[in-house]
Amino acid sequence: MPLCSAKCGKKAILKRPKTGDAMCKECFFEAFENEVHFTITRAKLFKPNATVAIAASGGKDSTVLAYVMKLLNKKYNYKLKLLLLSIDEGITGYRDDSLDTVKQNRDDYEMPLKVMSYKDLYGWTMDEIVAEIGRKNNCTFCGVFRRQALDRGANLLKVDYLATGHNADDIAETVLMNILRGDLARLNRCTSIITDSGDGIPRVKPLKYAYEKEIVMYAYFRKLVYFSTECVFAPNAYRGHARVLLKDLEKIDPSVIMNIIQSGESIKVNETANMPSLTNCMRCGYVSSQDICKACVLLEGLNKGLPRLGIGKSSKVKRILNENKLKNNSCNINASTCCRTSTGDVEDIEDKKCLCGGSQTIKSLPVDKIMSDKLTI
């Protein structure tokens, strides 16, 4: 084995995936930690004396993030108050196990832990949602709900920042994906290290420049406990094209990942190009590009027994919501859970066949009532 390229005199035991340098364990730790420290100080990520919630799933990224944040906070005296925030989606056989890992982290790193559950926030666990929707589109629910759940949790804990474990590979992949999808708005903002969801709490990505392979290597040599099972509902993975392409590119030249992030940061969108504007959801106040945010639409679908409501196009959703509203206003309420609309069309053919044959008009709970009950924390 060659000597460590940092000239510390020790024998190298690993090859850094990012640079190809041969290194000893200690020098690799130092290089990795220094790069995260550099990322944090260069971007001025945190103000002193702030409270930072670390989104912890128990996976490799968040475990390494929690460990490194604690270490750097002490070493460089950031004066941060760190705590862990976990989301319990209610997936038996996945989240219950990974939450144990998070609890282990809580004890190891001496950080307070707050767990937010989908059941508390939305009234549904993922297991219940999957029973309703089937396994095909469940990730839509989980992803949309998680994003909001993290923000709501952060709000509840009154933290100043929410740190997530997104790594360099994730970001490069997102850049490629947004180019393939032609999504300029997301292409423009996906590389920023701080994203502010409107009035909410800024989300920061301290591991933005850390390679996935190095994170795994760091966790391995530091002997960190993390949970590495895929979600039991994990689908025929989307992002597929971008991910495969990125892995192939990394094999040719690992610096491509950094190059893609650099490209994503330096591109400028033409001023004449149409960009969607962000507003706030009329119901829950969360930022959204539509009048009603995705989570509210999905919830309304679940609560009305039309779970596929939010799966289709947003224009279709808008139409259905409007129709429902009209019906609510004019309906002379018969106690019924029929899904047939007044026009006689069955709304959601694939999921629920109408049982009454259209003899009764639809009765849905007043919209405001449902939402405010289920969404308050």
Applying CB under 8 A, the residues found at the interface with another protein are 42-43, 55, 57, 59, 61-62, 137, 139-140, 142-144, 146-147, 164-166, 170, 174-184, 186-187, 193, 231, 234-235, 237-239, 241, 245, 248-249, 251-253, 256, 258-260, 262-271, 273, 289-290, 294, 311-314
Calpha distance 149→377 (Å, rounded): 10
365 contacts: CB under 8 Å, gap ≥ 6: 303, 304
**Closest separation in Å from C-beta 136 to another protein:** 10
Q: Does 55 carry a binding-site annotation?
A: yes
Q: Does 61 carry a binding-site annotation?
A: yes
| Cα–Cα distance list, 329 to 103, 339, 363, 368 (Å) | 48, 17, 11, 13
Q: At what angle do helices 294-303 and 367-375 cross, to 10 degrees?
A: 110
| Cα–Cα distance list, 313 to 18, 180, 285, 308 (Å) | 41, 19, 22, 11
**Closest separation in Å from C-beta 246 to another protein:** 9
Could you write out the DSSP letters of every residue in 278-311?
A: PEE-TTT--EESSSS-HHHHHHHHHHTT-TTTTT
Give residue 306's identity as a one-letter amino acid code: L
Identify whether the C-beta of residue 348 lies closer than 8 Å to the C-beta of residue 137. Answer: no
Instruction: Specify the residue, 7 or 313, whose C-beta has the smaller distance to another protein.
Output: 313
**Closest separation in Å from C-beta 191 to another protein:** 10
Q: Does 242 carry a binding-site annotation?
A: no
Buried b (16+ CB within 10 A) or exposed e, 141-151: bbebbbbbbbb
Instruction: Specify the residue, 218 or 227, whose C-beta has the smaller distance to another protein.
Output: 227
Instruction: Specify the residue, 71 or 231, whose C-beta has the smaller distance to another protein.
Output: 231
Closest CA relative to residue 205, chosen from 55, 328, 75, 370: 55
**Closest separation in Å from C-beta 299 to another protein:** 15
Instruction: Specify the residue, 11 or 241, whose C-beta has the smaller distance to another protein.
Output: 241
Instruction: Specify the residue, 78 or 145, whose C-beta has the smaller distance to another protein.
Output: 145
**Closest separation in Å from C-beta 171 to another protein:** 11
Torsion angle of C-alpha atoms 161, 190, 62, 52, degrees rounded to 10: 0
Instruction: Specify the residue, 144 or 159, whose C-beta has the smaller distance to another protein.
Output: 144
**Closest separation in Å from C-beta 363 to another protein:** 28
What are residue 203's DSSP bridge partners? 162, 195
Instruction: Specify the residue, 42 or 47, whose C-beta has the smaller distance to another protein.
Output: 42
**Closest separation in Å from C-beta 256 to another protein:** 5
**Closest separation in Å from C-beta 154 to another protein:** 15
157 contacts: CB under 8 Å, gap ≥ 6: 51, 53, 83, 85, 114
Instruction: Specify the residue, 27 or 295, whose C-beta has the smaller distance to another protein.
Output: 295
| Three-class DSSP category at 47 | coil
Q: Does 56 carry a binding-site annotation?
A: yes
Instruction: Specify the residue, 216 or 245, whose C-beta has the smaller distance to another protein.
Output: 245
Calpha distance 91→130 (Å, rounded): 9
**Closest separation in Å from C-beta 248 to another protein:** 6
Cα angle for residues 147, 216, 189 (degrees, 5° grid): 35
Widest pairwise Cα distance in the chain = 85
Q: Does 170 carry a binding-site annotation?
A: yes
Annotated binding-site residue numbers for ATP:
55-57, 61, 87, 165, 170
Annotated binding-site residue numbers:
55-57, 61, 87, 165, 170
